[in-house]
Amino acid sequence: MDNKSKIKRETWSGRFDFFLTSLGYAVGLGAIWRFPYLCYKYGGGAFLIPYFVFLFLVGIPLVFLEMAIGQFTSTGPMTCWSMVSIFRGIGFSVNIVNNYVNIYFTMILAYSMYYLIMSMNTELPWQYCNPKWIAKNCVDNRNRMNLTLLSCTDDLKCNDGLCYSSLTSTGSLASCDLNKTQLIEKGFWNLAYPSEIFWKEVLLQKSSSIDESGYIVWQLLVALTVAWLVITASVINGIKVSGKVVYFTSIFPYFVLLVLGIRGWMLEGAAEGIKFYIYPDFSKLTNLKVWVEAAAQIFFTLSISYGGLSALASYNDYKTNILRDSILVSIANCATSVFAGFVVFSYIGYLSKITGEDIDQVVQAGQGLAFVVYPFAVTTIKGSPIWSVLFFLMMLILGLDSSMGSVETFITSIFDLFPKFKKNRLRRYLSILTLIGIYFGLGILFCLQSGSYWIEIFDTYVGNWTVFLLGALESISIGWFYGFNNFRKDLSTMLGTKITDSIFFNIFRILWCFLTPVIVLFLMVVSILNYKVIESNGNKFPYWTFIVGNLITFSSLIGVVFWPIYLIITRVYIKKQPFRSLFKPDKNWRPLKDENKIMVDLAHGRLEKPSYYENQNLEFIENF
């Protein structure tokens, strides 16, 4: 009996702990602010075709694979990808990706927390154009007029929404950087809701570009501090506590989403908004970018190649029906995204109706959808603070669920790699607090006036083509090198031969060995070919951000690049082992518990006689 089998590991204490934790981890803010916009932008209802194609050809196979490997080994992503030596670097790379997410995602959680607190007033602070931070192009219910917007094609467009003459009052060439007293106003080319000005000028105090770092915005720092304190309290005592928290945090957002949906569907213009959301434009399907975005959203919304699915499944009982849970979590997750679109676009349709603007002028992507469009929409509804509280409470809980899972993933990986760090409660606490302290320190970058630009950089370059590559390598490691038949024998000890020997299960042979890796590698190539500098609201980021973004991207591949190099040096050149040995299945890749190891050896035909495992209770073999 090896030392590994002596290590005690926590397990979920409740029947639904794992399912709800996985669901909460995967169903995040992307369902609210990312999917509806992508669906609208890339063909409406037609976008659902590639989305669900990739759900079944890529999403479910990889979710099942990651969860099954975590449950089989009872270890997290840092150590579970060792079935073939050369592929162990996958675990290092997915942890790097996950750490990047932990660094910046908590800031978005902090935004939601700030808005939730500010919503607890009799009047929402972004309801009207406040004289303290008002802009000339601010428009609300009190000052809305039939303003004629200029195209401003031959004149000077500035970010304040005003159109200026191309020449100054002195006849020189005009520039937005000049003092406004020198510029000649010609009218408006763009209007701004008070929620947009509140978002940029009050909360973010946003600088004019990423080149201007500015100072630390105190309310962002306070919100980030509170967000990390909440996450710390949720994860520091392990899954026994966090596994119970999710009974509220995973279910309550669905209740809130339904309530917000019922209210939204009753609003004037809601039907028109929903029409824009689902109306199919099949011509978009001829654009490869639509297919790439659909696949990227599947990876993003199901958290594939981020390590969390393996980490959470590693706390399962060995006999948990992981195939059932992986299918249910995947389908429930994607269904939530689709449902959220019906809710979000009902409010966008309503906002379009009351402002008289076209829907494509109202809708915004990402943070703008969550912190600008919806906040202003509720200001025009009776009882607006209540609806605002509900929305941001939902956002907070969705973000908290995902953050808890992401942080727990790296904690699991560290403790699996260095078990001494969790030897007693004091060591565990110190290790977790040190890790969170590092996350917090790095997150201060996003509290600067330029912080929102950095969030866009991380959001763009962290989860792009690298997760495609990692997903493909996961399939290749099992399907091509470890061997589907070997893995099916392993899974038979968890799921039973009735499932693994069925005709249905052979579908995974086709997926893991061929379809999934080929599709994902093709999408990766297309994604790389379309790589370019970030463009936000018509403004391109400086080229140096493209370089920094690529450094972030390529740093995620350190594991899958440098681990093989390390093995070649240490095993092939120093120990003189054959190069092909790096690609052979590792017979020591087995479950944590001895009784489960015996079942695996029986399934593989490696157990010749009971004395092979001395002093073991073999009564369970009869049941197997």
Domains of the chain: 15-125+205-572 (1.20.1740)
333 annotated to bind ligand: yes
Share of residues in the chain with pLDDT > 90 (%):
41
**How far is Cα 65 from Cα 302, in angstroms, rounded to an integer?**
13
The mean pLDDT of 86-110, rounded to a whole number, is 93
On whether the CB atoms of residues 400 and 249 are closer than 8 A, the answer is: yes
26 annotated to bind ligand: yes
Residue 149 scores a pLDDT above 80: no
Q: Name the pLDDT band for 617 (thresholds 50, 70, 90).
A: very low
Structural tokens at position 162: 């005003």
Quick one: pLDDT at residue 51?
Answer: 93
**How far is Cα 227 from Cα 245, in angstroms, rounded to an integer?**
16
Q: What is the pLDDT of residues 301-352, one digit of tens each?
A: 898 999 989 999 999 999 999 999 999 999 998 898 888 889 888 888 888 8
264 annotated to bind ligand: no
Judge residue 120's burial from the number of C-beta atoms within 10 Å of its C-beta, 0-12 exposed, 13-18 middle, 19 or more buried.
exposed
Quick one: pLDDT at residue 619?
Answer: 47
User: Which amino acid does the sequence have at 388?
Assistant: S
Q: Name the pLDDT band for 5 (thresholds 50, 70, 90).
A: very low
The whole model's pTM is what? 0.88
Residue 1 scores a pLDDT above 50: no
539 annotated to bind ligand: no
**How far is Cα 234 from Cα 213, in angstroms, rounded to an integer?**
32
Quick one: pLDDT at residue 615?
Answer: 47
- Mean pLDDT for the chain overall: 85
Residue 612 scores a pLDDT above 60: no
Residue 142 scores a pLDDT above 60: no
Instruction: State the number of CA atoms in the 13 A half-sphere of 237 facing the CB.
Output: 9
Coil, strand or helix at 84: strand
Coil, strand or helix at 161: coil
DSSP letter, residue 541:
P
Q: Name the pLDDT band for 32 (thresholds 50, 70, 90).
A: confident
SS3 per-residue string spanning 180-205: HHHCCEEEECCCECHHHHHHHHHHCC
Quick one: pLDDT at residue 508?
Answer: 95
Quick one: pLDDT at residue 608?
Answer: 57
The mean pLDDT of 141-161, rounded to a whole number, is 64
The mean pLDDT of 32-46, rounded to a whole number, is 80
Quick one: pLDDT at residue 135?
Answer: 67
Residue 568 scores a pLDDT above 90: yes
Q: How far is the first Cα of the chain from the last one, in angstroms, to the nearest whole number?
A: 21
Among 139-143, 222-226, 362-366, 605-609, name the one with the lowest average pLDDT.
139-143
Q: Higher model confidence: residue 41 or residue 3? A: 41
143 annotated to bind ligand: no
The mean pLDDT of 115-143, rounded to a whole number, is 78
Q: Higher model confidence: residue 474 or residue 189? A: 474
Q: Name the pLDDT band for 168 (thresholds 50, 70, 90).
A: confident
Residue 564 scores a pLDDT above 80: yes
Q: What is the pLDDT of residues 574-589, one digit of tens each?
A: 999 999 999 999 888 8
Residue 410 scores a pLDDT above 80: yes
Structural tokens at position 181: 């007293």
Residue 141 scores a pLDDT above 70: no
Top mean pLDDT of 15-24, 168-177, 201-210, 549-558 is at 549-558
Q: What is the pLDDT of residues 460-505, one digit of tens each?
A: 898 789 999 999 999 999 999 999 999 999 999 999 999 999 999 9
Residue 514 scores a pLDDT above 90: yes
| 98 Cβ contact partners less than 8 Å away, ≥ 6 residues apart | 77, 306, 307, 308, 406, 409, 410
398 annotated to bind ligand: yes
Residue 609 scores a pLDDT above 60: no
Judge residue 580's burial from the number of C-beta atoms within 10 Å of its C-beta, 0-12 exposed, 13-18 middle, 19 or more buried.
exposed
The mean pLDDT of 216-227, rounded to a whole number, is 95
Quick one: pLDDT at residue 601?
Answer: 87
Residue 124 scores a pLDDT above 70: yes
Top mean pLDDT of 127-141, 247-261, 377-391, 428-442 is at 428-442
Top mean pLDDT of 96-110, 237-251, 276-290 is at 96-110
